Structure 1
Amino acid sequence: MEQAVSDAEILLVDDEPGLREAVQAYLEDSGFRVRTAANAQEGWEQLQQARPDLVITDVMMPRVDGYQFLAQLRGDDRFKALPVILLTARGMTGDRIQGYEAGCDDYIAKPFDPDELVVRVENLLRRRRETIAAVADTGNPDLAEVARQVAEIRAMLQQKPQLQTQATPLALDLTPREESVLKLVAQGLMNKEIARELDTSVRNIEKYVSRLFSKTGTNSRTELVRFSLEHGLAD
């Protein structure tokens, strides 16, 4: 499972203690780090503490069901792109359609094969990494796309005082190096320029930018700059 095993963290939300413990144990045996919550409210509280790489949530839960929890996730800019798998005993086509319409990335009906769940988790994490890599600035980027990004970032930087006045403070679990990269991205620098500034390789900067995409739930440099300005993460 490569990177998925070594550093991927999963949030598992299910109100059935037996199933929750069994799925947690199986995922951890497969190399994932797993945090658990007994209901959607606990799950939401966990998300405020640290953003996982993927969420697995039951649908049939008291008070706030899985569809409502998913809607709450998709309504928050931090979690719009967070991969979500719905688990449910309801396997009818209409239920699956409802899940996909609500914004889930995969839908698994109970009872399910634990090996299948692991494979689906791996696939979602792999696709997420590939998406991040595709939008990240590479050593040989398309010049027209770079020009477009630079123009959008410069336009946002001109609005910087206004965006920062409306900034909503947000604490993210960023390393010092990630904070340094984020500040330079927010200044409109591209990966090669950041690499020179921090005396490191472009490849390393690509990795840091990809992590920032994942931690902030953004998918492009322009989204990342706006996010950092609106949440007071950049000077």
Structure 2
Amino acid sequence: MTESVECNILLVDDEAGLREAVCAYFEDEGFQIVAASNAIDGWELAQQRPPDLIISDIMMPGVDGYQFLAQLRDDPRFESVPVVFLTAKGMTADRIQGYEAGVDAYLSKPFDPDELVAIARNLINRRRAATDPTDSVHLETISQQIAELRGLLGSQPSVVATPSSVQVDLTPREQSVLDLVAEGLMNKEIARRLNTSVRNVEKYVSRLFGKTGTNSRTELVRYALKHGLTE
């Protein structure tokens, strides 16, 4: 995240003291943040001002965090918004339930506010990198680079035969997404090709960024071609 980019965060927690402390900390770090004491009010705030990230407690009166998350994921406006669960629950089964429900990160109370801010920055940056509309401007450039690199490799068989010293463990689905990104397809096109949701594609692209240490689709494609991760 750069200082010039405004990031809007929504906090939903029924503990007044925690809301006040978290809001103060994020504001000190340059974020815009609004807070709600329950999921119903949080839903209203989300519709008024779509957030870049949502931080939510799990154990809340009325609508709990899991139900709130399901409501968000069922709405196209919020299905790709990163969600962090803040909760006193720390059991593995609870974490698994959260991840299966579509949460992006899980932090147990008490927590270090610096860690929460770091998680928020990482999730916001990765989402923006995965969905950055300016990347479409570079599709022609990426395609040209791919063609040039393939031509270069094709004219140098010895280079092709040399195995890459970089080992990146990709799942079959990650490999499929990488191959389509390398073709210059954007997330909506990839989702249609793989018969999945745009949110799932965004997650896979974010994982690819993490595994390759890249921060944009252009960097990812260059890295993949250089190290033989895609044809």
Give TM class, smaller chain. Answer: 0.5 to 0.7
CA contact (8 A) 1:58 1:86 kept: yes
1:113-138 Cα shifts (integer Å, max 9, x gaps): 00100111111011112111389313
CA contact (8 A) 1:27 1:118 kept: yes
Identify the residue that residue 33 of structure 1 maps to in structure 2.
32
Identify the residue that residue 143 of structure 2 maps to in structure 1.
142
In 1: Cα distance, 2:122 partner to 2:55 partner: 14
Runs of 4+ in 1 over 6 A off after TM superposition: 217-220
Compared with structure 1, are the counterparts of its residues 145 and 107 closer, same or farther at alpha carbon in structure 2 (3 Å cutoff)? same
Identify the residue that residue 101 of structure 2 maps to in structure 1.
102
In 1: Cα distance, 2:76 partner to 2:37 partner: 24
Which residue type is aligned with residue 20 of structure 1?
A: R
After TM superposition, the score normalised by the length of structure 1 is: 0.59
Listed as ranges, the gaps of 5+ residues in structure 1 are 153-216, 221-235
Listed as ranges, the gaps of 5+ residues in structure 2 are 145-182, 193-198, 203-231
In 2: Cα distance, 1:99 partner to 1:33 partner: 26
CA contact (8 A) 1:135 1:219 kept: no
Identify the residue that residue 206 of structure 2 maps to in structure 1.
none
Count how many residue pairs are aligned between Structure 1 and Structure 2: 154
Matched, 1:2 2:2: yes
User: Superposed, which structure 2 residues align to 1:14-93 within 5 Å?
Assistant: 14-93=13-92
In 2: Cα distance, 1:52 partner to 1:105 partner: 15
In 2: Cα distance, 1:75 partner to 1:101 partner: 14
In 2: Cα distance, 1:39 partner to 1:82 partner: 18
Compared with structure 1, are the counterparts of its residues 132 and 31 closer, same or farther at alpha carbon in structure 2 (3 Å cutoff)? same
CA contact (8 A) 1:54 1:125 kept: yes
Identify the residue that residue 112 of structure 2 maps to in structure 1.
113
Structure number with larger C-alpha Rg: 2
CA contact (8 A) 1:6 1:31 kept: no
The structural deviation recorded for 1:25 is: 0.5
In 1: Cα distance, 2:75 partner to 2:133 partner: 23
Task: Give the root-mean-square deviation of aligned CA atoms.
Answer: 2.9
Which residue type is aligned with residue 22 of structure 1?
A: A
In 2: Cα distance, 1:219 partner to 1:79 partner: 15
Aligned-residue identity in percent: 54
In 1: Cα distance, 2:132 partner to 2:76 partner: 20
In 1: Cα distance, 2:29 partner to 2:185 partner: 39
SS of the aligned residue for 1:142 comes to helix
The structural deviation recorded for 1:48 is: 1.4
SS of the aligned residue for 1:85 comes to strand
Identify the residue that residue 164 of structure 2 maps to in structure 1.
none
SS of the aligned residue for 2:55 comes to strand
The structural deviation recorded for 1:104 is: 0.6
